[in-house]
Structure 1
Amino acid sequence: MSIRHIVLWKLSADDADTRALHAEQISERLLALEGTVTEIDRIEVGRNVVNPSSNWDVALTIDFADVDALERYQVHPAHQEVAGFIRSVVSERSCVDYPF
């Protein structure tokens, strides 16, 4: 059963320019995982463009073959490095994993 992993982040920067920079850096780093983490079947990263005061700033959608692949992704050193950067620039995180 395939698993879709969706994560949303609120960035911690107060000014729009820094938030835009951090969103771009998150996007670039996550998309670079596609060639490194073989468990990723499909990855998409989107930056919010509407209602920035109430919407989340960045969204990640990744598809995996199964839960085991998601779990291997979670502990992969390349993912851990990206996750460390993301934790340094976000204030909130929300996630859902569901079969599709």
Structure 2
Amino acid sequence: MIRHLVLFKLNDGVRRDDPRVVEGVAAFRALGGQIPELEFWECEWNISDRPIAYDFAINSAVADTEALKRYVEHPAHQAGVTLWREFATWVIADYEF
């Protein structure tokens, strides 16, 4: 199994209630039911207000590197990424467990 973690940081001046953000969150929340390769899927706003904290997180799992590739290339995932590029940056970590 591969754990796929993503942490998002909203760009300066962008708020959670920005319509673009609301649309992006909805797009990512829907991925769990749209992409068969996802064995585990959760995403949510960070509750920490520490200065180094990121704003939004995805925690997911897929079976193997081929499943991860299919997930990353899936049209629904790519559509969500396109939305998030307008208002946030992110970091990822993929590891076997």
- TM-score computed with the length of structure 2 as normaliser: 0.86
User: Is 2:48 the counterpart of 1:47?
Assistant: no
1:41-77 deviation per Cα after TM superposition (whole angstroms, max 9, x unaligned): 1111121122253210011111001111000011111
Separation in 1, partners of 2:28, 2:64: 20
3-state SS in 1 of match to 2:40: strand
1:7-86 alignment runs, 5 A limit: 7-14=6-13, 18-21=15-18, 22=21, 24-86=22-84
Corresponding residue SS for 2:32: helix
TM-score (norm 1): 0.84
Which residue identity does 1:35 align to in structure 2?
G
Give the unaligned 5+ runs of structure 1: none
Q: 5+ residue gaps in structure 2? A: none
Residue aligning to 1:6: 5
Letter in 1 for 2:84: I
Give the aligned CA root-mean-square deviation in angstroms: 1.7
Q: Secondary structure at the match of 1:95?
A: strand
Partner of 1:94: 91
Following TM superposition, by how much is the alpha carbon of 1:86 offset from its aligned partner in structure 2, in angstroms?
Answer: 0.9
Alignment length (residue pairs) = 95
Q: Give, in angstroms, the shift of residue 19 of structure 1.
A: 2.6
